[in-house]
Amino acid sequence: MFGFGMDIGIDLGTASVILYVRGKGIVLMEPSVVAVEAKTGRLLAIGSEARRMIGRTPGNIIAVRPLRQGVISDFEVTRKMLRYFINKACGERSFFRPRVMISVPSSITEVEKRAVIDAAYQAGAKKAFLIEEPIAAAIGAGLDISKPSGCMVVDIGGGTTDIAVISLGGTVVSMSIKTAGDDFDEAIARYIRKKYHLMIGERTAEELKINAGTAIPLDPPIKVNVRGRSLVTGLPMIVEVSCDEILEALSESLSVIVDAIHSVLERTPPELVGDIGDKGIVLTGGGSLLRNLDKLLQDKLSVPVYLADDPISCVALGTGKALEYIGTLDASSIYSDAKMVFVER
C-alpha cells in the first residue's frame, strides 16, 4: 500500500492506459478495453484480459473501448475502468485517495473536460488535474519547455494525433486531428478486404501494421502471411502481404498527418519556426513507432525529425513530472507554465 499524498499521472489513451506513480515510475500499462455482459452491463474483464476477448466473444459478452478518438464515449464504463486501474496502482486496501493528473487532447471541449474530471472523481481521486497531451509529451520527452524557444511535438496516439509548438511553458500553435494508430489499423483492414476479399479483425490488422508497416519503401521488402476469412467462400484463408502493400494502405492517413504538421508550421511565428528548424520535431506516442515515419516526415517537411527515447510512455511520464508542481497551485487556478486546467471539489 502506498503512503499518504500519493500522486498518479494517467495517460488516458484510446488504445491504452498508462499510470505513473510519483516516486515509483510507470506502474501499469494496459489496453483501454473492457469486457461487459450485454444484458446486465456487468464487468467481466478489464485491460489485457479484455483485449484478448476482442473478436472472440459469444453473443452475451461485448468487448468495448470506452474511449474513442481521445474522448470518453461511454462514461460509466470509463469510470469503472479508471477505478480498477487506480485501485490496482494504489492497492485495494489503501485508505488514502490519490491526487490524479490526466492527459487530454488539446482540442478537447469544456464538456469533454468535465466528463474526464467527473470520471476521475468518481473513480476515487481526491483531486483531479488535466494537462494537454502535447505539453505532457514534451515534458516526458525531456524537452525544456520553460525557455523562450520553440519546440515542436507530434504525439501520435491511438485515436488522435496532437501537434503543438510550445514556448515559455505554453502552447503557441496546436492542432488535434482524428487520424492516428486506430486509423492505420482500419486502413489496413479495408485494403486487405478490397484487394484479397479477406476479412481480418482489428488485432490482426494491428499485428500486420507492427510486423510489416512502413512509411517509406523498404529494400528488400518484408513479407508476412495473413490469416482471415474469405469473403468469397466463407472459409479460412491465408495470403502473403508485402510491406509495399501496407504502405499503399497507409498512404492516405500518412498524408493527412503530414498536411496537419505543415499547417501548424505555416501558422507558427517565424522566430519559432527557426528554432524548430534547428532543434527538429520530436515524435511521441505509439503511432510514431511505424517504421521510417521520422524519415518520411523529414523528407516531406525539410525539418529534422526525431523519435523520443520512450515514445509510448512519454505522455504518462510527462503527467508524472508535472505532478511535482501540484503543491504550488491555487484551488481555482490555471497553471500557465504547463497549460493545466485544475478543478477541485
Q: What number is the average pLDDT over the span 325-329?
A: 47
One domain for residues 63 and 91: yes
- Any domain includes 2: no
**Residue partners of 278: CB distance under 8 A and separation at least 6:** none
- Any domain includes 240: yes
The confidence band for 53, taking pLDDT boundaries of 50, 70 and 90, is confident
Q: What number is the average pLDDT over the span 65-88?
A: 84
- Any domain includes 84: yes
Q: What is the pLDDT of residue 155?
A: 95
One domain for residues 118 and 189: no
One domain for residues 22 and 112: yes
By the 10 Å C-beta count (0-12 exposed, 13-18 middle, 19+ buried), 340 is classed as buried
The CATH number covering residue 105 comes to 3.30.420.40
Domain count, the chain: 3
Distance of alpha carbon 257 from alpha carbon 234, whole angstroms:
36
Domain range enclosing 212? 181-249
One domain for residues 201 and 56: no
- Any domain includes 1: no
The CATH number covering residue 239 comes to 3.90.640.10
One domain for residues 243 and 288: no
- Any domain includes 319: yes
Of 239, 326, 320, the closest CA to residue 18 belongs to: 320
Long-range contacts at 273-278 (CB < 8 A, ≥ 24 apart): 273/150, 274/150, 275/149, 275/150, 275/151, 275/167, 276/150, 276/151, 276/152, 276/165, 276/303, 277/303, 277/304
C-alpha Rg value of the chain to the nearest Å: 21
The pTM (predicted TM-score) of the whole model is: 0.86
pLDDT single digits (tens) 159-199: 899 999 998 878 899 999 999 999 999 999 999 999 999 99
